[in-house]
Amino acid sequence: MLKKERQAYILHQVNLHNKVLSSSLCSEIDVSEDTIRRDLQELADEGKIIKVHGGALSHSFNHVHFPVNGVYSQNQKRAIAQKAIALIKNGMFVLTSGGTTIIEMARSLPPQLKATFISGSIPAVLEYMHHPNIEVILVGDKISKSSKITVGSEAIAKIKQVKADICFLGTNAIDAQQGITDNDWEVVQLKKAMIESSKKVVCLSIAEKINTIQPIQVCALTEIDALITELNPGNPALQPYVEAGIEVL
Amino acid sequence: MLKKERQAYILHQVNLHNKVLSSSLCSEIDVSEDTIRRDLQELADEGKIIKVHGGALSHSFNHVHFPVNGVYSQNQKRAIAQKAIALIKNGMFVLTSGGTTIIEMARSLPPQLKATFISGSIPAVLEYMHHPNIEVILVGDKISKSSKITVGSEAIAKIKQVKADICFLGTNAIDAQQGITDNDWEVVQLKKAMIESSKKVVCLSIAEKINTIQPIQVCALTEIDALITELNPGNPALQPYVEAGIEVL
DNA sequence: AAATTTCCTGCAAAAAAACGCAGAAACCTG
DNA sequence: CAGGTTTCTGCGTTTTTTTGCAGGAAATTT
């Protein structure tokens, strides 16, 4: 990895997460801590970031000591993202929906990961695009402005053409009886196609969406292979899903 | 292998992968590392790539780098955008490429305009999406990270399915003899398809790109219906194009 | 206050770049 | 076409950059 490339990655991470730990950086990119520190120093000298003990901060969030809680449930989503990333191996074909949890996952993907990501979500694709080693396939069709993803028969047809290794679904509502449900008919159609086209279906959901129901069903619990939340897998709230035969992470 | 040939290959690799290692280049093409380094130096001097220790990077990698020129030409691009917008009527199907001039046009679209925009450019689509009355059709396929548009046979096939009223092409180089030329093979294929699929082809180009040539031809001047620059239509620099039968605005 | 983590300094090895040079190829040019 | 000039390329040497490492200082945590 080139030095400039590394610094671009660091800068990207800082702007995204508003902070960055040099320890985590040096394990993500595989270099010594000294190198990271020197990079941070250079970026700080250029005024791009603010160097602090243990890492660096984004410039914008310097003046106002904004609580990290600025984005809705970002910490929980980040925890989910970390668990999800562990499932992605080099060379995989990965199908993803949209949603803030998926975005958080996209932002946290390690730079050395080589994989192919397929999605119709504009924000997700924007994130994938920034990663050096990821191939991005964009599913085209009419854009739904509310959900910022492509919807329609063309998109569904394209998704049905692929057979992905794994599929990550951002979830609006999940319930032990009703399975996954959502409130946008077109998005539901798309998610159904994604589930069909994947060997393994992984559902990402923050705890507060567990045991909630939306009007339209995406799929039953039986079609899900794994469920990832920010909770400990042993948490009693997750027991119904364990009993339903889902791998809870 | 000829020097020009070598440099074209290098440029292609850089545009394709956003980065290139001089070590890998000198084993791919079978020449000494000095030769590669000299080539990189020349390309960097021409502003085609960014040379760094160990290889080179694409310009798109750190587009934060030239804000001066960015702001400078923004006014010109805005002038072009205004002229282009005048050509769009309610109900039209509009096909657009990518590029900063197109983005500027997208930002300037009047809010009451009702039309359907078709594009494979992610940044352009992002802008269209914010518009209240525009339908957006996204052309899907593999994403080229350097140009931030979808490229490939799927994208071309989709474009050929439509018959747009008008097509706006952001231009990298235009010349009275060579017509429109570009430096990315895949982007060229896409633009060719766009030209075929449109009743009217409008070329947007800032003055500094007029009478410049890139390696690969997109189309001859005869295929262009209109040319928009920030210059006055009577400007002598534009006369060759007027004489070629192009409507110069 | 002790322990752990992080930071800085200097140093050394490896990689890359710059430099000068010389042979070879291409290209004028009369 | 002969002779000269320019351009291009590879090689050896020197210089610079980059990176990791060690040891001590500074800061943070327990």
DSSP string, chain A: --HHHHHHHHHHHHHHHSEEEHHHHHHHTTS-HHHHHHHHHHHHHTTSEEEETTEEEESTTSSS---GGGSTTHHHHHHHHHHHHTT--TT-EEEE--SHHHHHHHHH--TT--EEEEE-BHHHHHHHHTSTTEEEEEPPEEEETTTTEEESHHHHHHHHH--EEEEEEE-SEEETTTEEEES-HHHHHHHHHHHHTEEEEEEE--GGGBT---SEEEE-GGG--EEE-SS-TT-GGGHHHHHTT-EE-
Q: Which CATH architecture has domain B68-248?
A: 3-Layer(aba) Sandwich (3.40)
For chain A residues 167-196, those near strand D by a CB cutoff of 7 A are none
B3-62 shares its CATH topology with B68-248 = no
CB contact under 8 A, B120 and A140: yes
Would you state the structure tokens that stand for residue A125, as one six-digit string?
Answer: 């694709």
CB contact under 8 A, A140 and B137: yes
pLDDT tens digits along A22-77: 998 988 888 999 999 999 999 998 888 989 999 998 876 554 443 333 456 667 88
What residues of chain B lie within 8 A of the CB of A135, using their CB? 142
Q: Determine the pLDDT at residue A163.
A: 94
What residues of chain B lie within 8 A of the CB of A120, using their CB? 138, 140
Share of chain B above pLDDT 90, in %: 65
Q: Does any strand C atom come closer than 7 Å to the Cβ of B45?
A: no
Per domain, the residue ranges of chain B are: 3-62, 68-248
Would you state the structure tokens that stand for residue B214, as one six-digit string?
Answer: 């890139």
CA to C1' distance (Å), from B113 to C28:
62
What residues of chain B lie within 8 A of the CB of A149, using their CB? none
Q: Determine the pLDDT at residue A70.
A: 41
pLDDT tens digits along B10-57: 988 887 788 899 999 989 899 999 999 999 999 998 888 999 999 999
CA to C1' distance (Å), from B186 to D22:
51
DSSP B229: -
Q: Does any strand D atom come closer than 7 Å to the Cβ of B3?
A: yes
Q: Does any strand D atom come closer than 7 Å to the Cβ of B45?
A: no
* pLDDT tens over chain A, length 249 residues: 899 999 988 988 887 777 899 998 988 888 999 999 999 999 998 888 989 999 998 876 554 443 333 456 667 888 898 899 999 999 999 999 999 899 989 988 888 888 999 999 999 999 998 887 899 999 999 999 989 999 999 999 999 999 999 999 999 999 999 999 999 999 999 999 999 999 999 999 999 899 999 999 999 999 999 999 999 888 999 999 999 999 999
Mutation target to probe the B interface, by most B beta carbons within 10 A, among A143, A147, A161 is: A143
pLDDT tens digits along A147-163: 999 999 999 999 999 99
Q: Which CATH architecture has domain A3-58?
A: Orthogonal Bundle (1.10)
DSSP H or E run through B199: strand B198-204
pLDDT tens digits along B188-198: 999 999 999 99
Q: Any idea which fold B3-62 has?
A: Arc Repressor Mutant, subunit A (1.10.10)
Q: Determine the pLDDT at residue B172.
A: 86
Q: Any idea which fold A70-248 has?
A: Rossmann fold (3.40.50)
Nearest-CB residue to B125 (from A4, A8, A143)? A143
pLDDT tens digits along B154-182: 999 999 999 999 999 999 889 998 899 98
Residue B86: phi and psi, rounded to 5, are -60, -20
